[in-house]
Amino acid sequence: MTLHAHPHRRILHIDMDAFFAAVEEKRNPELKGKPVVIGGRGDPTKRGVVSTANYEARKYGIYSSLPLRTAYKLCPRAIFLPVDYEAYAAVSRRFKTALRDISPIMEDVGIDEAYLDLSDKPETNEEICRKIKAGIDEKTGLTCSIGIAPNKLLAKIASDMEKPDGITILTEDAIEERLWPMPIRKLYGIGPKTEEHLKAMGIETIGQLAALPLEILVQRFGPSYGHYLYEAARGIDESPLITSWEPKSFSRETTFQVDEKNWQAIARTIAELTREVVSDLTAKGYAARNVSLKIRYSDFRTVTRACSTPETVQKEEEIRRLAFSCLKRVELTGRKVRLVGVRVGSLEKVAKISPPV
């Protein structure tokens, strides 16, 4: 892990606009100006959720994680497309290359977002942003939004403030005016549970959170997370960019079109997911010491079972055997299964092996 710290930092967060939809529009210009929804297999009469919607479709109240069927009700004339992950990953790699051309101090945080630390660059914010946008346009033909701030926490909030194709500079002296009126869930690290907890305490905005004494936060959330919340609400974040990154796990999951009670069919799906996970594991050059299985029943109750091995495993048949031994420990009689997932973890880097012919 490589860490970079600087006393007066200039951190940028770059986030692509309506990413999956933008890639689809780029390769099929006829989609431009029409509402486009990407999700599942692209069939809104079937189960699945929205991965993303373009800005046209968002006007109808469609957003990521909404069931596809609900999206269809909100806008029946929208164009529904299946998720083509390979295509988005290829564009994502070109996007990251454009950023690495600007600076090697880049933290890759997701398929369509990254941080850059440009503290040492002489160029003005305006010049830097023009260069980044031109580089991304040249490599992908797409637009992004940029947030500039003294730290990662504020830069990420800033990049979301003027989407699409925006540039937002958030300085420390604007925290009270611009950060504090925002809802608490905009703060990185506040998930649904913390949000609920804080709302039960009457805290809705980041400003209200900032008004809470440290002792209360530590008492409610423990010393580490309590301190984090105290500082985050004030826009304080000293965390450095992490420029090289190791994956923690690889996983795949799928929802059955119709809840499944047949053991054979469930096992077959687990075998398919295992094959996909192993293909990622091999491509990235890792072996695993932990295999886990996730099962969600028709009533949404979810269980996981895990197996660990002293020696790392890498071959499909070994990992499948471990996944099946997890499956044997799951209660299936008289129950229907909605979703299954396979994950491999406790990874170790190994030499890449060539796929079997």
Known binding residues for Mg(2+): 15, 112
Is 86 annotated in the active site?
no
Instruction: Using CB under 5 A, count the residues that bind Mg ion.
Output: 4
Instruction: Using CB under 6 A, count the residues that bind ligand TTP.
Output: 14
The correct pick among 82, 141, 164, 207 for binding ligand TTP (CB under 6 A) is: 164
Residue range at the interface with ligand TTP (CB under 6 A); choices 18-26, 99-107, 194-202, 215-223:
18-26
Pair type for strands 36-39 and 79-81: parallel
**C-alpha angle 70/74/75, rounded to 5°?**
115
* 220, containing H or E segment: helix 214-221
- The contact mask relative to Mg ion for 89-128 (x = CB under 5 A, - = no) is -----------------------x----------------
**Closest C-alpha to 17, from 113, 119, 150:** 113
**Would you mind telling me the total number of residues written for the chain in this entry?**
357
* Least gap, CB of 332 to ligand TTP (angstroms): 29
* 95, containing H or E segment: helix 85-102
142 in contact with ligand TTP (CB under 6 A): no
Contact 346, 288 (CB under 8 A): yes
Range 59-88, binding ligand TTP (CB under 6 A): 64-65
Residue range at the interface with ligand TTP (CB under 6 A); choices 13-21, 29-37, 249-257, 276-284:
13-21
Residue range at the interface with ligand TTP (CB under 6 A); choices 17-25, 127-135, 217-225, 239-247:
17-25
Closer residue to Mg ion in complex, CB, 15/316: 15
- The Cα 32–Cα 110 span in angstroms is 25
* Least gap, CB of 357 to ligand TTP (angstroms): 33
Closer residue to ligand TTP in complex, CB, 135/166: 166
Burial environment of residue 299 by CB neighbours within 10 A (0 to 12, 13 to 18, 19 or more): exposed
- The Cα 164–Cα 143 span in angstroms is 8
Closer residue to ligand TTP in complex, CB, 15/260: 15
Task: Choose, from 24, 56, 113, 260, the residue flagged as catalytic.
Answer: 113
Peptide bond into 247 cis (omega under 30): no
**Closest C-alpha to 70, from 50, 53, 84:** 50
Strand order in the sheet with 167-169: 106-110, 113-117, 11-16, 144-149, 167-169
275 binding partner (options Mg ion, ligand TTP, none; Cβ < 5 to 8 Å by kind): none
Residue range at the interface with ligand TTP (CB under 6 A); choices 9-17, 92-100, 234-242, 298-306:
9-17
- Where along the sequence are the contacts to ligand TTP (CB under 6 A)? 15-20, 51-52, 64-65, 111-112, 163-164
Q: Which residues are known to be catalytic?
A: 113
